[in-house]
Amino acid sequence: MAIIQHFERQVRLHTDALNEDVEVTNERIGQLETTQIVTNNTLTTLERTVAATNTSLAAIIERLDRMDQVGREGRQQGDDDGYGSIAGLEVDDASRNMPHSPRTKGIIQHFVRLVKTHTEGLDNDMQVTNEKMGQLEATQIDTNTKLANVEMTVAHIDKSLVALLRRFDEMHTNINGGRDEGAKGNWDDYVADTEQDDQEAPNRRRLRTNRRGVF
């Protein structure tokens, strides 16, 4: 019984330790899943911000184009009112085909630089976020693999524990059975010896009487 109890304590301690490892691993997986959810939400927010920035950039460029067009139309109206000549029409046609004015070009370039800087920052954030998500996914895959291995080990230990307990029960039964058989055998020998002594007692008494008679 002492051997059985010793092995039971050892296996129970080992099983408890494995259960604690499984619990810690599950908590870690939960933390990783929570972190991945937060990362996904952050990535979605960044994507929406980039889309909104691109939309704003397109709207700003369109607005500047309209402002520049209004400026050209104002200049054309002044030429028509002041001169009204064929030469003036030729100048107006040339001005209509001219690119943006230096002021408008400067404003556009300024906004383009701002939006480009902001967009590049968002792209860097998205790249870092994607790398972080990749690392989290790889970590989660590794953790899931370790958890599966731990669960397999626990299952194997449970089977081994059951087999050990069954074996100990059989040994205990055999030991008790051997003791009973040994006690029964000793009792039978004792009874047989007693019966034989009882049967030989008269003969031994006669032998002693005869010897006293001879001497």
Predicted confidence (pLDDT) per residue in 36-60, tens digit: 787 777 777 777 877 777 787 777 7
Q: How many domains does the chain have?
A: 1
CB 116 within 8 A of CB 122: no
Angle at 87 between CA 82 and CA 88, to 5 degrees: 35
What's the whole-model pTM score?
0.37
SS3 state of residue 98: coil
Q: What is the mean pLDDT of residues 101-118?
A: 75
Distance CA 55, CA 62 (A): 11
Specify whether the backbone of 180 is left (phi greater than 0), alpha (psi in -120 to 50) or beta.
alpha
Greater model confidence, 188 or 169: 169
In this prediction, residue 89 carries a pLDDT of 36
Query: Is the confidence at residue 88, as pLDDT, over 50?
Result: no
Query: Average pLDDT over the chain, rounded to whole?
Result: 67
pLDDT band at 34 (very low <50, low <70, confident <90, very high): confident
In this prediction, residue 4 carries a pLDDT of 63
Distance CA 155, CA 152 (A): 5
Distance CA 39, CA 126 (A): 10
| 182 CB neighbour count, 10 Å cutoff | 10
Sign of the alpha-carbon dihedral angle for 45, 51, 54, 56: negative
Query: Is the confidence at residue 166, as pLDDT, over 50?
Result: yes
- Give per-residue pLDDT as tens, 3-30: 666 766 777 777 777 777 777 777 877 7
Q: What is the mean pLDDT of residues 86-98?
A: 42
In this prediction, residue 192 carries a pLDDT of 54
pLDDT band at 72 (very low <50, low <70, confident <90, very high): low
Highest mean pLDDT pick, 101-105, 131-135, 187-191, 210-214 = 131-135
In this prediction, residue 84 carries a pLDDT of 42
Phi, then psi, of 137 in degrees rounded to 5: -65, -40
Q: What is the mean pLDDT of residues 119-123?
A: 72
For 10-46, give one letter per residue: b (16+ CB within 10 A) or e.
ebeeeeeebeeebeebeeebeebeeebeebeeebeeb
In this prediction, residue 148 carries a pLDDT of 78
CA distances from 79 to 68, 71, 83, 96, 101 (A): 17, 13, 6, 12, 17
In this prediction, residue 195 carries a pLDDT of 52
Query: Is the confidence at residue 78, as pLDDT, over 60?
Result: no
CB 11 within 8 A of CB 157: yes
Q: Which amino acid is at 137?
A: E
In this prediction, residue 170 carries a pLDDT of 81
Full residue range of the structural domain in which residue 33 is found: 2-214
Q: What is the CATH number of the domain that holds 89?
A: 1.10.287
CB 52 within 8 A of CB 115: no
Distance CA 68, CA 131 (A): 43
CB 144 within 8 A of CB 29: yes
Query: Is the confidence at residue 65, as pLDDT, over 70?
Result: yes
